Structure 1
Amino acid sequence: MNLKSILPLVLKAVPAIILLQTLFFKFSAAPESVYIFETLGLEPIGRIGIGILELIAAILLFIPKTTWLGAVLGLGLMVGAIVSHLTKLGVVVQNDGGTLFALALTTFVFCGILTWKHRHQIPIMNKLFV
């Protein structure tokens, strides 16, 4: 395996792993997750709904024809997370040292790169970048 074959896998795996590892906390109603969504006024429907959307995004990232859709969905979800951190939650949530915020930023960057890389597959973008 060379860098050209590993890089696309890493670009998909990193955000997918981040999205998937948070699902346990969302779906098990872990206290940290409940706190976050209560603070945002979205508990429990928002916690479960966003968890489902994150699961869908992670799966879509690995299907070649839908990688772009998973990346766009991941971008949207992370914009919501980042804005929530910057406006209501704070960068540090319950003494996590900013880990959740850093993971949201990382996922945002990787999904942004994937979106750009697959922009020609996005119906509206395909018309803009012919």
Structure 2
Amino acid sequence: MKISIFTWIIKLIAVVILLQTLYFKFSGAEESIYIFTKLNIEPYGRIGSGIVELIASILILIPKTTLIGAILGLGTMFGAIFSHIFALGIVVQNDGGTLFALAVVTFTCCSILIYQQRSKIPNLLKFKI
């Protein structure tokens, strides 16, 4: 199956955003600690979400697992967007809403990838023994 340039661009946007936040989560950057402390899930939520985002990034890049990675990324970004709207606020520590915007962009990219592969969703539910 040939993958279009558009699809690769969408994949790369999602993966670059997901991966660039890992440095801050795994290094214990002040901003990340602030966010996850405010959500009352520091340090496990910070490190756990970083691991999930790393796995989603890898899966998105592999053509056979793109759908699973996009679903994982979508769920993670839904949590981030939900947290911004209901607990953190759109602007966190004077970032101008950058983290929120990145979450929305990643959510959108993952949604597009899922839509493109929607015909494969029923296969995820089949158990092969």
- Please, what TM-score do these two structures have when normalized by structure 1? 0.91
Show the counterpart of 1:89.
88
1:15-54 Cα offsets, whole Å, 9 max, x none, are 1000000000000000000000000011001100000000
Q: Does 1:59 align with 2:90?
A: no
Distance 1:105 1:17 in 2: 14
Show the counterpart of 2:71.
72
Please give the residue correspondences for 1:32-51 in structure 2 after superposition, counting only pairs within 5 Å.
32-51=31-50
Aligned length: 124
Counterpart secondary structure, 1:122: helix
Superposition deviation, residue 123 in structure 1: 2.9
Structure 1: unaligned runs, 5 residues or longer: none
Structure 2: unaligned runs, 5 residues or longer: none
Distance 2:112 2:4 in 1: 16
Moved more, 10-19 or 113-122: 113-122
- Please, what TM-score do these two structures have when normalized by structure 2? 0.91
What percent identity do the matched residue pairs reach? Answer: 60
Counterpart secondary structure, 1:19: helix
Show the counterpart of 1:98.
97
Q: Match for 2:110: what amino acid?
A: C
1:42-100 Cα offsets, whole Å, 9 max, x none, are 10011000000000000000111110001000110010000000001000000000000
Q: Match for 1:81: what amino acid?
A: A
Q: Is the 8 A contact 1:119 1:126 kept in 2?
A: no
Give every structure 1 segment of 4 or more consecutive aligned residues whose post-TM-superposition deviation is greater than 4 Å. Answer: 124-127
